[in-house]
Amino acid sequence: MIRNPRDDAESLALVRRYVAPGRRYLKLGGSLLRMESPEYDRFMRDLREDAGLITPEEIATLLEGSRRERRTAAWLVAVSRRAEFREHLGSLLLAREVCCVGLAYSVALASFGTLRDADLLAAHLDRYLCRPDLGYDQAVVMGALQFIDLNLGGGQVERFLGPGGLWQEWVREAPHQWSGTDPTPHFLSLIRRLCAFVDECAEAL
């Protein structure tokens, strides 16, 4: 069940503390790459500080919320390097309970960058590349899997991208903005840049 922050004082306090200031939840994604100093520096500093302060219990509570809470929580997990949330994020990514959070989950898993993270991303693709009617998240998940594969040489991505793989069929058949074109270069680049932001942000923790 998705927790509505208006239903209890604890959740509402966490939203006000970590999610809402400066409409942070809207900026955690590609838009942060368009920031310039001093806004960029201030945003990174504040995110780093909150990543160090938030408790595991508070993260777990945010991950029960709506898309804005979950998006923020996933980024705080990534910046604070809390790999103990790996399986939880993987489960949420697979469940797709709410929209517009897949990028945040994918960035967190890609920033951890282990073979287990690749497995969790691949599990999502195994399930949803067979669903051309659900044309979201697959591209960012593929970018994250490629990012890990390039770093580790794990070879997970080849079974999707190779001849007869599910990826080309999904690109061809799915009713989404990428239909007929391969978005992998775009999303690999996006994941790489966002993970670089996470690394820079996490260095001072």
* Cα radius of gyration rounded to whole Å, the chain: 17
CA distance 106 to 115: 14
CA distance 6 to 146: 39
What is the tens place of the pLDDT at every residue in 180-204? 678 889 999 999 999 999 999 998 7
What is the tens place of the pLDDT at every residue in 70-88? 999 999 999 999 999 999 9
Contact, 155 vs 119, CB < 8 A? no
pLDDT (average), residues 149-168: 89
Q: Confirm whether pTM is higher than 0.85.
A: yes
Task: For residue 70, count other CB atoms closer than 10 A to its CB.
Answer: 24
Q: 114-132: string of b/e by CB count within 10 Å (b at 16+)?
A: eeebbebbbebbeebbeeb
Residue listed under structure tokens 């691949």: 122
Q: Which of 178, 89, 103 is nearest to 147 (CA)?
A: 103
Contact, 61 vs 10, CB < 8 A? yes
* DSSP code string of 139-168: HHHHHHHHHHHHHH---TTHHHHSTT-HHH
CA distance 171 to 177: 10
Residue 174: partners with Cβ closer than 8 Å, 6 or more residues away:
132, 133, 135, 138
83-97, 136-150, 163-177: least confident range: 163-177
Tokens of residue 159, six digits: 């079974």
The pLDDT of residue 1? 53
